[in-house]
Amino acid sequence: MLNEKDLQQLKLQEVSEKKVQEQIENFRKGFPFLEISEPATVGRGIIRLECEEVDDLVEIYKGFEGSRMKFVPASGAATRMFKHLFEFVEEFPVKGDDCFIDKSFNSVAYFIENIDRFAFYQALKDEMWKSGFNIDDVIESKDFVTLVKILLNPEGLNYGNLPKGLIKFHKYSEGSRTAMEEHLVEGSQYARCHENKVYLHLTVSPEHKQGFQALAAQVLPMFEEIHGVKFYLSYSEQKKSTDTIAVGINNEPFRNADGSLVFRPGGHGALIENLNDLNAELIFIKNIDNVVPDNLKPQTVLYKKALAGMLISYQSLIFDYLSQLQGNEELTADFLQEVLQFTIDELCIIPPKTLNTKNPQALLPYLVNKLNRPIRVCGMVKNEGEPGGGPFWAKSSDGSISLQIVESSQIDLKDAKAKKIVATATHFNPVDLVCGITDADGAKYDLLKFVDPNTGFISVKSKDGKQLKAQELPGLWNGAMSDWNTIFVEVPLITFNPVKTVNDLLREQHQ
């Protein structure tokens, strides 16, 4: 199946032949659906905090003296943000003014009508002037194709090819800020370490790294002076070794016209490798497009600190139990049962039916295994119809049932029972995580040991007019963190304001 030339290509790709064979086998047998038993709800897997509890947790975080970092996946291009504008440019020569019949929120008509409300309006106006156009004249003459082209195309602002992090999101009296700048400001408010240092790590595409670095060089001195901090920015790229091989519909390797193998990015699950390369006791994770202007930041900052306080609180209990379990003292049956009850009631891990919980020799290694692993506290918002993952109780490969963030692609929606469980779900995953990746001695866990390899998924794509099958790795906050200890906490909806389309920037929360 693989020839000598293929093996040379694998070497350059930094992928082993064994891994490629495993991926091809995954295509052949498919990935199993995740077995979910019920949705995580408030009081049954999701913690709802009272105001005084939030304050107490913030105080716990204030006393934390360890290292911390903010991790922002920022490699995604903004192309999908402008999908309806690209379609408009293509369709206008045929449809003409019919393109403006739809005046709904996500329409081109709504975009044009509110063009001056966008944070990038002044930049667009200046760019059009450089290209010999007056924006007011262009709008009056209804030459909207020219306006959109200058916004999207490389000879203009190039917004159609930039990453979301470099798009101007919010307007202020002193100027506009990009999504990256909002993450800097936000990070200064909850991720600062001692001596007012703020460590921020962004995963970026190779072609955009220079743009991020240029923006950072331009704005960091100003933000450091305003917020009284020193920023330390680092970047990483998705590793070539995490790309996955593509196959044809017959599950044979898909090849380019020159006979070379086709590899595709492994999805955001590949970023577990980037996260694994970082060294901090506490890491905040948040998507690049989920930011708000300064007037709405207080709630976000408050709950980020509370989530961190909760992680520290649980971690302290876990480390204390581990120290006793792994110590030299003789353990009583009552103590082992106390720890087991802690894993059930607090960490929401239902032991496998095969485990004899009355047998200390079987129970002790089980408890050590479940406690001695990374921990994450995940904010959850009430589901208001957003697509994407949610919190469920799901069966793990060892037979235990635990809390997992599950994507719809992982669930067999043709199964009536599973479909009913999904229909009764109440919350949604906004990617609002605080992670503890070090053990009781401060040594970093190898995060790659806690990935469930059976939670990837397969999709059908096309290349050169032919269909191919692509394989995505277990998602970063799904299967890649499957074997972590997981705490779900309800957070206010105002802390979740993603920008999926450019028109989302016209929502009240981004104005």
pLDDT in tens, 64-84: 999 999 999 998 788 889 999
CA-to-CA separations, 108 to 112, 185, 311, 503, in angstroms, rounded: 6, 32, 44, 9
C-beta of residue 351 within 8 angstroms of C-beta of residue 357: yes
Polymer length in residues for the chain: 511
Radius of gyration of the chain (CA): 25
Residue 335 in this model has a pLDDT that exceeds 90:
yes
Q: What DSSP designation does 244 have?
A: E
Would the pLDDT of 2 be above 90? no
- Helices of type H across 14-113: 17-29, 51-62, 83-95, 108-113
Cβ partners under 8 Å of residue 177, min gap 6: 119, 168, 169, 170, 185
Sign, CA torsion 384/390/391/393: positive
Same domain (yes/no): 156, 288: no
Q: Has residue 167 been placed in a domain?
A: no
pLDDT at 378 over 80: yes
Q: Is 260 found in the same domain as 125?
A: no
Distance CA 2, CA 9 (A): 10
Task: Look at residue 311 and tell me if it is in a domain.
Answer: yes
Q: Is residue 169 part of a domain?
A: no
> What Cα–Cα distance (Å) separates residue 287 from each residue in 201, 204, 236, 284, 497?
12, 12, 15, 10, 10
What is d(CA 70, CA 85) in angstroms, rounded to the nearest whole number? 33
User: Is the predicted pLDDT of residue 109 greater than 90, yes or no?
Assistant: yes
pLDDT of 156 strictly over 70: yes
pLDDT score recorded for residue 463: 85
Distance CA 364, CA 349 (A): 15
Token pair recorded at residue 242:
């995490």
Residue 450 covered by a domain? yes
103 and 60 in one domain? Answer: no
Q: What is the pLDDT of residue 323?
A: 95
- Answer positive or negative: Cα dihedral of 179, 182, 184, 186: negative
Q: Which domain does 294 fall in, by range?
A: 33-64+249-510
Mean pLDDT of the chain: 94
The verdict on residue 289 lying in a domain is: yes
More confident residue, 376 or 388: 376
Mean pLDDT of all residues in 270-296: 96
Q: Which amino acid is at 49?
A: L
91 in the same domain as 38: no
The residue out of 161, 183, 201 marking a domain boundary is: 161
**Which percentage of the chain shows pLDDT scores above 90?**
91
106 and 52 together in one domain: no
Output the six-digit token pair for 248.
């044809």
Spatial separation of the C-alpha atoms in residues 184 and 233, rounded to whole Å: 9
User: Could you tell me the CA-to-CA distances from 24 to 1, 253, 263, 469 in Å, in that order?
Assistant: 11, 8, 12, 10
Same domain as 266, residue 385: yes
Tokens of 21: 């064979």
Which H or E run includes 427? Answer: strand 427-428
Measured CA to CA, the distance from residue 217 to residue 234 in angstroms comes to 13
C-alpha separations of 35 from 376, 392, 494 in Å: 21, 10, 31
- Using the 3D structure, point to which of 122, 143, 161 is the last residue of a domain: 161
Could you give the CA distance from residue 177 to residue 164 in angstroms, rounded to a whole number?
12
pLDDT given for residue 386 in this prediction: 65
- Bridge partners, residue 175, by sequence: 172
C-alpha distances out from residue 151 to 145, 314, 458, Å: 10, 48, 34
- The pLDDT tens digits of the residues spanning 284-329 come to 999 999 999 999 999 999 999 999 999 999 999 999 999 999 987 7
Mean per-residue pLDDT for 210-222? Answer: 97
Would you say residue 511 has pLDDT above 70? yes
142: left (phi over 0), alpha (psi -120 to 50) or beta: left
| Residue 417 maps to a domain | yes
The proportion of the chain whose per-residue pLDDT surpasses 70, expressed as a percent, equals 99
Confidence of residue 236 (pLDDT cuts 50, 70, 90): very high
* Other beta carbons within 10 Å of 486: 24
Give the burial class of 73: count Cβ atoms within 10 A of its Cβ; 0-12 exposed, 13-18 middle, 19 or more buried.
Answer: buried
In the block, residue with structure tokens 């981004």: 510
- Among residues 427, 319, 339, which one has the least CA distance to residue 379? 427
- Look at residue 464 and tell me whether its pLDDT is greater than 70: yes
Tens digit of pLDDT for each residue in 172-184?
Answer: 999 999 999 999 9
Question: ∠ at Cα 382 (380, 384), nearest 5°?
Answer: 130
pLDDT of 330: 87
Say which residue the tokens 């506490």 belong to. 282
pLDDT at site 279: 93
Q: Residue 433 in contact with residue 380, Cβ under 8 Å? A: no
User: Is 476 contained in some domain?
Assistant: yes
For tokens 């998602």, name the residue.
Answer: 475
What would the two tokens of residue 122 be?
């002044």
Structural domain count of the chain: 2
Type of residue found at 397? S
**From CA 148, how far away is CA 132, in angstroms rounded?**
15
pLDDT at res. 79: 87
Is residue 414 pLDDT above 90, yes or no? Answer: yes
Query: Looking at the structure, do residues 267 and 148 belong to the same domain, yes or no?
Result: no
Q: Are residues 156 and 279 in the same domain?
A: no
Domain end position, chosen among 161, 189, 216: 161
Structure tokens at 226: 């305003």
- CA dist 32 and 220 (Å) reads 47
Are residues 259 and 405 part of one domain?
Answer: yes
**Residue that has been written with the tokens 């009056």 in this structure:** 140
Same domain, 282 and 145: no
Residue 21 domain-assigned (yes or no): no
Residue 149 CA to residue 336 CA, distance in Å, equals 66
Quickly state the pLDDT bin for 388 (edges 50, 70, 90): low
Looking at the fold, whether 320 and 458 belong to one and the same domain comes out as yes
For the stretch 381-418, what's the b/e string if a residue is b when 16 or more beta carbons lie within 10 angstroms of its beta carbon? Answer: bebeeeeebbbbbbbbeeebbbbbbbbebbbeeeeeeb
Report the number of secondary-structure helices (H) and strands (E) in the chain. 15, 19
Residue 479 contacts residue 451 (beta carbons within 8 Å): yes
DSSP string, 29-51: H-PPPP-EEEE-EETBEEE---H
Tell whether 361 and 320 lie within a shared domain: yes
pLDDT tens sequence across 18-56: 999 999 999 999 999 999 999 999 999 999 999 999 999
